Amino acid sequence: MTGSVPGRCCQPRLGAGRGVRGRRDAGRSRYPACSGAGGGAAMKLKLKNVFLAYFLVSIAGLLYALVQLGQPCDCLPPLRAAAEQLRQKDLRISQLQAELRRPPPAPAQPPEPEALPTIYVVTPTYARLVQKAELVRLSQTLSLVPRLHWLLVEDAESPTPLVSGLLAASGLLFTHLVVLTPKAQRLREGEPGWVHPRGVEQRNKALDWLRGRGGAVGGEKDPPPPGTQGVVYFADDDNTYSRELVAIGCWVRVWPVGLVGGLRFEGPQVQDGRVVGFHTAWEPNRPFPVDMAGFAVALPLLLAKPNAQFDSTAPRGHLESSLLSHLVDPKDLEPRAANCTGVAYTDREAQDEAGGAAAAAGPGLRPSN
């Protein structure tokens, strides 16, 4: 007889004829329907609670946002500050763009050429491998200077095509002169350059032309008329010069010269605007221990001293003194180049090492009697 036991609605029936295996299988599936129904109800209850909590939180957030819509906002000052920064940046960009569009300022106008004295640059030259290269370099520097007259004097019997052609193509106002160095004064092969000073006859030939003694073979052949205001400067063709070098309206002016005499520079020592000595390594007791590139002379002073010239028999290092001793006393030398703190360079590659460039300007000095 089979039947159901109260309280166990899903208990399986047990047959009378089943053995041990039947009871074991029956035990494995006891209460299946009853367990599944209870778990599903609990899961539904948990999901309801989650959705309810999410709904309540959302409603609370929405209500808070609606309440804040009516409240005053304190974010206006930061927004104004950010807007002001952007405005300042836009203004600066506009200013920079305007500066880029603005034409560059016109350079300071130099004095009118007619108001400047003429600069007479005396250059002796002789035939050698680098002659043309050095003359081209010098001529291009001189072409930057207004009212310049180049006196180029060849050490030759007659003018050479090389020098004549170079002068014609230079675009400069020039006078071509020629004079041959006497045989007794020429350097023999292998002799050092200090045995006989080079260029003495050529410089004196230029002084003769300035004094109206003729001799020009090319270019401007008439000497400067009486009363001409000018400056005479002796520029060797193997040196390098600044276009600001030569003084105007001076009697005798001096300045330092770079890389000469075994020194970084040599030149006058100045105190209170006056020359009190010379910085030099070679015979500092010379009357004028200066380099040929370290002085300029007023043309009226040279014309007033017709016997002043270079002496080919002067001792070594005294060639400059042989001319200057006829023109001026050492105490009357006028220092230039910022009281001789700059340098008139003879080597362009050493400019950064030796110091600033030499300029020349200012009042003149009285000549010696």
Label each residue of the chain as H, E or C: CCCCCCCCCCCCCCCCCCCHHHHHHHHHCCCHHHHHHHHHHHHHHHHHHHHHHHHHHHHHHHHHHHHHCCCCCCCHHHHHHHHHHHHHHHHHHHHHHHHHHCCCCCCCCCCCHHHCCEEEEEEEECCCCCHHHHHHHHHHHHCCCCCEEEEEEECCCCCCHHHHHHHHHHCCEEEEEECCCCHHHCCCCCCCCCCCCCCHHHHHHHHHHHCCCCCEEEECCCCCCCCCCEEEEECCCCCCCCCCCCCCCCCEEECCEEEECCEEEEEEEEECCEEEEEECCCCCCCCCCCCHHHEEEEHHHHHHCCCCCCCCCCCCCCHHHHHHCCCCCHHHCEECHHHHCCEECCCHHHHHHHCCECCCCCCCCCCCC
Using the predicted structure, report yes or no on whether residue 201 has a pLDDT greater than 70: yes
Give mean pLDDT, residues 18-36. Answer: 48
Using the predicted structure, report yes or no on whether residue 323 has a pLDDT greater than 80: yes
Is the entire prediction scored with pTM above 0.85?
Answer: no
So what's the pLDDT on residue 150? 97
Using the predicted structure, report yes or no on whether residue 12 has a pLDDT greater than 50: no
pLDDT tens digits for range 115-173: 678 899 999 999 999 999 999 999 999 998 888 999 999 999 999 999 999 999 999 99
Q: Say if 220 falls within a structural domain.
A: yes
- Can you give the CATH number for the domain in which 212 is found? 3.90.550.10
So what's the pLDDT on residue 334? 64
**272 annotated to bind ligand:** no
Which range of residues forms the domain containing residue 242?
Answer: 118-255+291-342
pLDDT: is 213 or 16 the higher one?
Answer: 213
pLDDT tens digits for range 185-198: 887 777 776 678 88
Q: Say if 153 falls within a structural domain.
A: yes
pLDDT tens digits for range 238-291: 888 877 664 444 445 554 555 555 556 566 767 676 766 666 666 777 888 887
Q: Say if 240 falls within a structural domain.
A: yes
So what's the pLDDT on residue 107? 66
Residues carrying an active site annotation: 320
Q: Say if 19 falls within a structural domain.
A: no
**What total of structural domains would you count in the chain?**
1
Q: Say if 183 falls within a structural domain.
A: yes
Q: Say if 181 falls within a structural domain.
A: yes
Q: Say if 52 falls within a structural domain.
A: no
